[in-house]
Amino acid sequence: MEQVKYTQKDILERVFKQKRMGVGYDPADVDSFLDDIIKDYGAYAGRVDQLQNEVARLQGALKSSQEQLVALQKQPQPIAVTAEPIVDVPEEPVVVETPKPVQAVTNLDLIKRVANLERAVFGHDASNNA
């Protein structure tokens, strides 16, 4: 970043020379413009300070995280030991059954089912005795 040529105080205390010939610049207009520049410098300086503090905070957080990572990497890792050797088991072929087509249930199918249930519960003669 380039160095700032003027500070807020330098701009505020700047006095312009008067021209001997001609009218020159309106001092009120120049002062108004310079006041706006001073405000901008103040805003920029505040923003720079804020960003520098944020950078410092993030660098500290990064360093802390890196130290935690190094500490975790230095810890011994548990090793899993199995008591039995691993044996390859041949895979059984997978049988996929094709789904049966769904048939619509009609009133006649329901009547047949009820009749079969009545025969099973009441016997073969129950349908004739009624």
Residue 129 pLDDT exceeds 60 = no
For 20, which DSSP code?
Answer: S
Residue 1 pLDDT exceeds 60 = no
Are residues 127 and 119 in contact, defined by beta-carbon separation less than 8 angstroms?
yes
Give the span between the Cα atoms of 43 and 47, in whole angstroms: 6
Q: When comparing pLDDT for 52 and 93, which is higher?
A: 52
Main-chain dihedrals φ then ψ at residue 50, nearest 5 degrees: -60, -45
Average pLDDT, stretch 79-100? Answer: 66
- Give the pLDDT band of residue 62 (cuts 50, 70, 90): very high
Task: Return mean pLDDT, the chain.
Answer: 78
| Residue 80, pLDDT score | 66
- % of residues, the chain, pLDDT over 70: 71
- Tell whether pTM > 0.85: no
- Give the pLDDT band of residue 77 (cuts 50, 70, 90): confident
Task: Indicate left, alpha or beta for 24 from its phi (over 0: left) and psi (-120 to 50: alpha).
Answer: left
pLDDT tens-digit readout, 6-60: 778 888 887 777 766 667 777 787 888 888 888 888 888 888 999 999 999 999 9
